[in-house]
Amino acid sequence: MKPFKRWFGSKPEGEELIQQLDSDNIPNHVAVIMDGNGRWAQKRGLPRVAGHHSGMKNVKKITMAANAIGVRVLTMYAFSTENWKRPKEEVDYLMKLPMEFFPKEIDELIANNVQIRMTGWHEGLPDYTLKAIQDAIDQTKNNTGLILNFALNYGSRKEMLRGIQRLVADVKQGEISGEEIDESLFSRYLLTDPLPDPDLLIRTSGELRISNFMLWQLAYSELWFTELCWPEFKEHNFYEAIQEYQRRARRYGGL
Ligand code: IPE
Ligand code: IPE
Ligand code: MG
């Protein structure tokens, strides 16, 4: 078994759980639907946005937990194309979080060689939101460690439809022929290209659904759900999910 890596700055909690994991079977790509911020706050008599703030702080913790065991890509679903339906004050609050998150956390992310990316549409996002994330992307673009990928203004059906539109345009222009379209070519027209498909999907808050997240990419991902709301989901819960993942047999339709 190869040794687990080291980290700089705040240590992830749950080290004893790390030692119980099989370092040769760590999921390459873990995707997380960070759900339940609002309910977490309401249970405590706080406004929903307090849950979003607490949820934001949790992103760094789980990033470090993933980094410590050698996960290569961690995608965090932060805002869906459907979340625009929410009250304007809540949307405005969410859009300001990157301006708080990145300046606060970027030094530690850089010290840990983390590379920031975004999967989602720029259109519709306020300039200040985009600038905060773009600065973090630029500052970390040469980092070679964990990819921390934010799914922000992302929705999977729209992703597939836009991909098909671009694909059709390329066929019309003669750049590709219809016969060439296979799974790997289609994947290149999705926003997640060139990231690998998630091996493990974690969803918090007890909801047992996918909510328009990576419908194509999750075809053979292992799904893991917890009743815990996102702000109360801690490092040891993340390692429990990894442990359960390591107990699963992935067959991809074979034997
Ligand atoms: C997840 O928490 C964060 C976002 C969708 C932005 P929610 O805000 O959905 O919290 P609940 O599900 O209403 O409790
Ligand atoms: C999914 O959560 C989106 C994010 C976590 C960003 P939602 O709270 O929007 O999903 P539904 O509405 O419960 O399906
Ligand atoms: Mg929700």
What pLDDT tens digit does each residue of the chain (255 aa) get? 677 766 677 667 788 899 999 999 999 999 999 999 999 999 999 999 999 999 999 999 999 999 999 999 999 999 999 999 999 999 999 999 999 999 999 999 999 999 999 999 999 999 999 999 999 999 999 999 999 999 999 999 999 999 999 999 999 999 999 999 999 999 999 999 999 999 999 999 999 999 999 999 999 999 999 999 999 999 999 999 999 999 999 999 999
Choose, from 24, 28, 35, 142, the residue flagged as catalytic. 35
Pocket flag, ligand 1, residue 155 (CB < 6 Å): no
Q: Which of 22, 25, 83, 182 is catalytic?
A: 83
DSSP letter (8 states) at residue 80 = E
Please report how the helices 127-140 and 88-111 are oriented relative to each other, as an axis angle in degrees rounded to 10: 10
Q: Which residues are annotated as a binding site?
A: 35-40, 48, 52, 80-82, 84, 86, 203, 209-211, 222
With b meaning 16 or more CB within 10 Å and e meaning fewer, what string describes 58-94?
bbbbbbbbbbbbbbbbbbbbbbbbebeeeeeeeeebb
The residues, any chain, with a CB within 8 Å of residue 34's CB and separated by 6 or more, are 55, 58, 59, 76, 77, 78, 204, 230
Query: Does the pTM of the predicted model rise above 0.85?
Result: yes
Is any atom of ligand 2 closer than 6 Å to the C-beta of 135?
no
Residue of the CA atom closest to atom 12 of ligand 1: 36
Residues of the chain with CATH 3.40.1180.10: 25-101+123-145
Residue 79 Cβ contacting ligand 1 at under 6 Å: yes
205 lines ligand 1 (CB under 6 A): yes
The pocket of ion ligand 3, defined by CB under 5 A, consists of: 35
Q: Which residues of 16-53 are buried (b: 16+ CB within 10 A; e: fewer)?
A: ebbeebeeeebbebbbbbbbbbbbbbeeeeeebbbbbb
- Domain 25-101+123-145 annotated CATH 3.40.1180.10: yes
How many whole angstroms separate alpha carbon 132 and alpha carbon 223?
A: 31
Q: Is residue 35 annotated as a catalytic residue, yes or no? A: yes
